[in-house]
Amino acid sequence: GQQLNQSPQSMFIQEGEDVSMNCTSSSIFNTWLWYKQDPGEGPVLLIALYKAGELTSNGRLTAQFGITRKDSFLNISASIPSDVGIYFCAGQGEGYSTLTFGKGTMLLVSP
Amino acid sequence: NAGVTQTPKFQVLKTGQSMTLQCAQDMNHEYMSWYRQDPGMGLRLIHYSVGAGITDQGEVPNGYNVSRSTTEDFPLRLLSAAPSQTSVYFCASSETYGTEAFFGQGTRLTVV
């Protein structure tokens, strides 16, 4: 099946820093989604991307659908303690395929 | 709207016991799915359904059964629980295949 490589696995940063994480695939994806999971909760959708090259923002979050359709990144600007959690990328490949999830990036923010 | 509701939130089973994890959504979504989340493994698809009466296997279906008799409900059955099924289980729904999925809060299952 399709696989997504998400990096980094974890990040420990200071409050106020910017954060960048990305996902890559060996195959083409038609949709990229970014989720955040708070401890003890289910993943919550942050940003959805549907076109190659698309750049979308949601507050301090910005995500892009790579031109090659094989990658996507998520940036968080001016991080705050409530940004702590696990961030997942997910993608849908060509045809009627199910979503594939990356293994997640754990973000820790020090006040 | 409640979104996606999962019950129970926590469950402890003995090896060999069976149980059903419940999932209901009130968004009239056609597509529903079950995932398990294990440390370092991300979310792995167990089973999914593209509509009432239609189900299919995901990446890790062994030991689990599903059925979809209504649009709203998509229960996951563990036939004979094993310690390897200790995990956090998430149900999700979306309008169609591969579009934005909405997740429930999860069921934390321990098999002893």
pLDDT digits (tens, 9 = 90+) for A77-104: 999 999 999 999 999 887 767 889 999 9
Rounded average pLDDT over A2-20: 94
Show residues of chain A in contact with B98, CB under 8 Å: 30-31, 92, 96-99
Q: What local confidence, expressed as pLDDT, does residue B5 receive?
A: 97
User: Looking at the partner chain, which of A35, A98, A104 has a beta carbon nearest the beta carbon of B98?
Assistant: A98
List the single residue in A with minimal CA-CA distance to B57. A98
Cross-chain residue pair A103–B106, CB shorter than 8 Å? no
Q: What local confidence, expressed as pLDDT, does residue A1 receive?
A: 60
Is pLDDT at A25 greater than 90 in this prediction?
Answer: yes
Q: What local confidence, expressed as pLDDT, does residue B56 receive?
A: 95
Chain A: nearest CA to B102, how far in angstroms?
7
Q: What local confidence, expressed as pLDDT, does residue A96 receive?
A: 64
Residues B89 and B75 sit within 8 Å (Cβ to Cβ): no
Residues B107 and B37 sit within 8 Å (Cβ to Cβ): no
- Say what percent of chain A tops pLDDT 70: 97
Q: What local confidence, expressed as pLDDT, does residue A94 receive?
A: 77
Is pLDDT at A66 greater than 90 in this prediction?
Answer: yes
SS3 content of chain B, % helix, strand, coil (to 5): 5, 55, 45
pLDDT < 50 positions in chain B: none
Show residues of chain B in contact with A31, CB under 8 Å: 98-99
Show residues of chain B in contact with A44, CB under 8 Å: 103
Distance between CA atoms of residues B44 and B36, nearest Å = 5
Mean pLDDT computed over every residue of chain A: 93
The single-letter code of the amino acid at B102 is F
Cis peptide before B8, with omega less than 30 degrees from 0? Answer: yes
Give the residues across from B37 on adjacent strands.
B43, B88
- Say what percent of chain A tops pLDDT 90: 84
Chain A: nearest CA to B28, how far in angstroms?
18
Show residues of chain B in contact with A5, CB under 8 Å: none
